[in-house]
Structure 1
Amino acid sequence: MKFDPILLTKRHNNYRENSINLLPSENILSDKVKFILGSDLASRYSLFIKDDGNAYGGTRYADEIIIKGGELVSSLFGVKFAEIRPLSGHISAMIALLSITKKNDKIMAISPENGGYDGYSQDFLPDILSLQYRPIPFDVKAWNIDYQNIEKSIRDYRPDVIVLGASYFLFPYDLKFIKDLSEEYGFKIIYDSSHVMGLIAGGEFQKDIFKYAQIVYGSTHKSFFGPQGGILLTNDEEIFERIKDNVVWRTMDNYHLNRLAALVQASIEMKKYGREYASNVIRNSKRLAKNLDQKGFGIRSFRDGYTESHQILIDKKEMCKKLEKSRIIIDCVGRMGTNEITRLGFHEKDVDELSDLIMLALKKNVSRDVIELRRRFRVRYC
């Protein structure tokens, strides 16, 4: 059979439109955002040169999107400055570190063994940027920082930067505690909010974040409504100038105008509906976790409960393949997320129905029932 990417894309769309996605790293886009992604902007360039305007012609509307879009994102998060050009959360992390460290500086971050992002461990971003890495002490029973032992590690290691945030992200941090330590030991705080960006925008997670973190950054497509990409947020003008200097020609070049404009549209949607959405996400997560735990699925519970985010941690990673046979998609590394089903309009009563289907899917194929449930919903909050 001849390779046909259009046909495969149609099949992919049909498959996903008739499946229930519980991946915590993905979300679903509104029609308006998808329209912008497929617009003429997809093949155009823009490059601002200091004091000389744009290096390219034909950018009068694109320029307005970039300038006003940055202002809109700043307003959404209630910060002074927003950099919306990064192509991914990983590139945002690189820009953040470049803007706040120098060679041979020391950083601390949550280890991958405790749910941290692999990119902060020594072989990756620290190696590229000539930084030294040490893991933050972690309390597995609380699924949070080990607040009793972190000061000793800081005193012994003397980090220049502490990176907060994780890939397995359930509970907010005690930022005041960390900030008090930073004032005593002189390190900076940056916060990778890739997974919880939409919950922060909705005011339902880490409400004090901009009071204590010098830079908040991350991806825009997990609990946020946007296409894949990244942003950086700060109230510090000097840091923001360094952030801008570390974008074009240092970490990337073209920033994909269609993606940037789509992010701005997603931010408009988040500004209007984010609080309601974020609140429902967390309610749905808690409901799904409790239901599945009571039914014996193997949900991980911690000192403060199951979760305060979109994520749920599960014990049996091998369940992903069995569930996908019934068109229920989870990741294969021990997580579920309610971010996409909430965007589709699921409420707690719908989560109850889904919980029953998940348990049935462990015993038999329930694809028809899953398709029937999925077809009752469409993208909301837009």
Structure 2
Amino acid sequence: MSMTEDRIRDRTPAIARHLNGIAAMDREAANFLHLTANESLLSRTARRGLTLPLADHYFMGGGDDLGIVDFRPFTFRGLPAVGDLVDAASDALRTLLHAADVNLKCLSGVHTMMCAILSLTEPGDGVMTVDIGHGGHFATPVIVQRTGRRHLSTRYRLDDLRFDAERIAEDFHRAGAKALYLDVSYYLNPHNLRQIRAALGDEAVIIYDASHTLGLIMGGLFQAPLTEGADVLVGNTHKTLPGPQKGLIAFRDPEMAQRATTIINNGLVSSVHTGSMVALAITILEMEAYGRAYARQIVANSNALGAALEDEGWTLRRANTGRVSENHQVHLLMGDQGERYRTLYAGLVDNLISLNFDSTLGAGVYARLGTQRITRAGMGPDEMRQVGALLSRALRGDDVRCRVAELNAGFPRVAYSFDDLAEVQGWLG
């Protein structure tokens, strides 16, 4: 039953308030210093894909010469231009990840977890994941257990931020496990994958969750999981890969890719969200063009920000290389002030600064900072010194709101993108 005109009139002011409130938050977001490690900045070129009227339609492939997708007898209109773009992005991604094949159909990072676990293991199989307190993802044990797999937990060595490969292998084989899922969300340096593979042997399935470092891996800077021992790489696409909120999977072995993709495509995915697919494909091609420089600048900015914070008197967790960070994350240890994290967080938000507090990896509460978004805004080492000073002052109770807004106002563009190319101006309108 449809709403009456009176009810529509009664409801409309509230709806308008909600929409105006969202619009106000969107405007304010432009003034925020976004230091969260789990958010990205899309280019205008990629964001255009999310707003296309074509995004209302299903993408099931480009189709044949007549633009028809035929699943015998289910037929569907193909989108050839979208198919061409996705094919180009898939080719680029295979090269950047050293993959035999890739799948861009997943909708999120958690969806890639589900697809990987359901397509590569069977009910009753043992799946080992990383303990949540040691940086593992909260969703993985739930997925493992609720899909009838046996869950095992492994631990990260907190003293040197490495996995104990021999301990993992001992626990893994004792339990008769099938897969090791490296679902780490809080880390500063590459995993010792080669050691883990050597200890586990060839039969174990190793799944590497690259949600946080996917853009760095594509930039050739962090590590190359599929050449170092992982069978499968999964991840969301909106952290160091600065794309839309979506997911992807890459495979080292073509036979494994075919088996898993058949299951995923025939039962674990329906709509691939056409607008997001277009935005993701564009972002992958931007990474092919600019990813190496972007990745280098992210890591340089992480270390410059860390140096600025240490100059301000703060203590940081360091990567096992001795540097502040080998990726986009900077871990600012709060010490005794950690008990006040809610009060501190309220003060940061009031000063237009967004970040995360957490207490994984020992050493109490810390601020997990991310440099990927401000790097894509075009900031460099000079700005990192300003960011470090502003963050330090805000944590100590100063009012730096206007200074933060002023800093952000100086970076209205999206760097490492196609936005300024003459060839895309027609696309941008």
**What TM-score comes out, normalization by structure 1 length?**
0.92
Deviation at 1:183, TM superposition (A): 1.6
Work out whether residues 73 and 264 of structure 1, in 8 Å CA contact, stay in contact via their aligned partners in 2. no
Work out whether residues 218 and 287 of structure 2, in 8 Å CA contact, stay in contact via their aligned partners in 1. yes
In 1, distance between residues paired with 2:318 and 2:83? 48
2:114 aligns with: 94
Q: Could you list the per-position Cα deviations for residues 104-126 of structure 1 after superposition, in whole angstroms to 9, with x for gaps in the alignment?
A: 111112111111111222xx111
Q: Name whichever of 9-18 and 216-225 sits farther off.
A: 9-18
Q: Name whichever of 90-99 and 286-295 sits farther off.
A: 286-295
Work out whether residues 226 and 251 of structure 2, in 8 Å CA contact, stay in contact via their aligned partners in 1. no
Q: Which of 174, 184, 204 is matched with 1:187 structurally?
A: 204
Work out whether residues 161 and 319 of structure 2, in 8 Å CA contact, stay in contact via their aligned partners in 1. yes
Work out whether residues 46 and 55 of structure 1, in 8 Å CA contact, stay in contact via their aligned partners in 2. no
Work out whether residues 162 and 192 of structure 2, in 8 Å CA contact, stay in contact via their aligned partners in 1. no
Work out whether residues 143 and 302 of structure 1, in 8 Å CA contact, stay in contact via their aligned partners in 2. yes
1:210-289 equivalences in 2 (<5 Å) = 210-248=227-265, 250-289=267-306
- SS of 2:356 mapped into structure 1: coil
Deviation at 1:331, TM superposition (A): 1.5
Work out whether residues 115 and 169 of structure 1, in 8 Å CA contact, stay in contact via their aligned partners in 2. yes
In 1, distance between residues paired with 2:160 and 2:60? 46
1:24-43 equivalences in 2 (<5 Å) = 24-43=37-56
Q: Name whichever of 269-278 and 47-56 sits farther off.
A: 47-56
Q: Name whichever of 170-179 and 56-65 sits farther off.
A: 56-65
Counterpart code for 2:380: H
- SS of 2:244 mapped into structure 1: coil
Work out whether residues 79 and 235 of structure 1, in 8 Å CA contact, stay in contact via their aligned partners in 2. yes
Counterpart code for 1:245: T
- The verdict on how the C-alpha distance between 1:160 and 1:255 changes in structure 2, with shifts beyond 3 A counting, is same
- The verdict on how the C-alpha distance between 1:208 and 1:101 changes in structure 2, with shifts beyond 3 A counting, is closer
Structure with bigger gyration radius: 2
1:67-106 equivalences in 2 (<5 Å) = 67-106=87-126
In 2, distance between residues paired with 1:238 and 1:249? 17
1:381 aligns with: 416
Q: Name whichever of 215-224 and 316-325 sits farther off.
A: 316-325
- SS of 2:268 mapped into structure 1: coil
Work out whether residues 21 and 340 of structure 1, in 8 Å CA contact, stay in contact via their aligned partners in 2. yes
In 1, distance between residues paired with 2:140 and 2:26? 34
- The verdict on how the C-alpha distance between 1:330 and 1:53 changes in structure 2, with shifts beyond 3 A counting, is farther
Work out whether residues 109 and 134 of structure 1, in 8 Å CA contact, stay in contact via their aligned partners in 2. yes
1:176 aligns with: 194
In 1, distance between residues paired with 2:314 and 2:326? 19
In 1, distance between residues paired with 2:34 and 2:71? 46
In 2, distance between residues paired with 1:328 and 1:6? 24
Counterpart code for 1:36: G
Instruction: State the number of aligned residues.
Output: 379
1:45 aligns with: 58
Q: Name whichever of 100-109 and 24-33 sits farther off.
A: 100-109
Deviation at 1:94, TM superposition (A): 1.1
1:203 aligns with: 220
What do you get for the CA RMSD once the two structures are aligned? Answer: 2.1
Deviation at 1:144, TM superposition (A): 2.5
Structure 1 unaligned residues grouped into runs of 5+? none
- SS of 1:219 mapped into structure 2: strand
Work out whether residues 182 and 188 of structure 1, in 8 Å CA contact, stay in contact via their aligned partners in 2. no
Deviation at 1:6, TM superposition (A): 4.1
Structure 2 unaligned residues grouped into runs of 5+? 1-12, 62-68, 359-366, 418-429
Deviation at 1:248, TM superposition (A): 4.0
Work out whether residues 137 and 153 of structure 1, in 8 Å CA contact, stay in contact via their aligned partners in 2. no
Deviation at 1:272, TM superposition (A): 0.7
